[in-house]
Chain A
Amino acid sequence: EAGVVQSPRYKIIEKKQPVAFWCNPISGHNTLYWYLQNLGQGPELLIRYENEEAVDDSQLPKDRFSAERLKGVDSTLKIQPAELGDSAVYLCASSLGGARTEAFFGQGTRLTVV
């Protein structure tokens, strides 16, 4: 069974440019998460989807970040415009949903803003 797939693995952009990350969760997983991980820190939630609905986006900086999960499967996270402080690893994870909260992570996208 394929795991969570993220692309790209690495991205280098200049500040003020837009960037997008893509995630394909494990088949059948209803819950999808986007996490941000800074060096030496644990992952921090940006947004959680239950199927197509964003049920927890309280930590998403909505002035520059946006996300969507079309048809309740794949998801895209966008930053526009990017700032130097956005340099981090962006992790996507999925879980079955409901009481099954154990989440499985992708390899992440390492973003560097210069």
Chain B
Amino acid sequence: QKEVEQDPGPLSVPEGAIVSLNCTYSNSAFQYFMWYRQYSRKGPELLMYTYSSGNKEDGRFTAQVDKSSKYISLFIRDSQPSDSATYLCAMSVSGTLTFGKGTMLLVSP
């Protein structure tokens, strides 16, 4: 079992939909949680960074962490075709980031 599990998708939604992306993890020592967006042939771009359990909102994006269930989520409201990309969750302990495989999101106009 990998430390971080993420459904690879693809997840296809119509423009304007609310998108839910999720990761589970097994290492209870993880302290910091991040979501990255990666467009094809580009490096990962940091979207959200959280530390504690609960919700953090930034524009159309909401990151949710449930440490008791070892489960994190990223919600995207009013999804746009430009949101089509691969979304990677990442978590860290002692400075090293461990990534999920990424979920490919396709938002159709």
Chain A residues proximal to chain B, CB less than 8 Å: 4, 31, 33, 40-45, 48, 50, 55-56, 91, 93, 95, 97, 101-108, 110
A110 to B4, CA, bound (A): 25
Q: Are A104 and B8 in contact (CB under 8 A)?
A: no
- The one of B36, B42, B90 in contact with A107, judged by C-beta atoms closer than 8 angstroms, is B42
Within the complex, what minimum Cβ distance (angstroms) separates B11 from chain A? Answer: 15
14 sampled A-B residue pairs with Cβ under 8 A: A33-B97, A40-B8, A42-B4, A43-B99, A45-B98, A93-B97, A101-B32, A101-B97, A102-B46, A102-B49, A103-B34, A103-B97, A108-B42, A108-B43
Q: Are B95 and A42 in contact (CB under 8 A)?
A: no
Q: Are B45 and A42 in contact (CB under 8 A)?
A: no
A93 to B103, CA, bound (A): 21
Within the complex, what minimum Cβ distance (angstroms) separates B78 from chain A? Answer: 25
Q: Are B100 and A42 in contact (CB under 8 A)?
A: yes
Interface residues on B, range: 20 to 34
A102 to B101, CA, bound (A): 18
A56 to B95, CA, bound (A): 9
Q: Closest residue of chain B to A105, judged by CB?
A: B43
**Chain A residues within 8 Å of B42, by CB:** 107-108
Q: Closest residue of chain A to B104, judged by CB?
A: A40
Q: Are A105 and B101 in contact (CB under 8 A)?
A: no
Q: Flag B17-41 by CB within 8 Å of A: 1 or 0 each.
A: 0000000000000001010100001
Contacts A55-B95, A91-B44, A103-B46; A42 near B102 (Cβ below 8 A):
yes
**Chain B residues within 8 Å of A42, by CB:** 4, 6, 88, 90, 99-102
A104 to B88, CA, bound (A): 13
Q: Are B101 and A97 in contact (CB under 8 A)?
A: no
Q: Closest residue of chain B to A59, judged by CB?
A: B96
**Chain B residues within 8 Å of A44, by CB:** 99
**Chain B residues within 8 Å of A48, by CB:** 95-96
**Chain B residues within 8 Å of A40, by CB:** 8, 101-102
Q: Are A102 and B34 in contact (CB under 8 A)?
A: yes
A95 to B32, CA, bound (A): 13
B73 lies within 8 A of chain A by Cβ: no
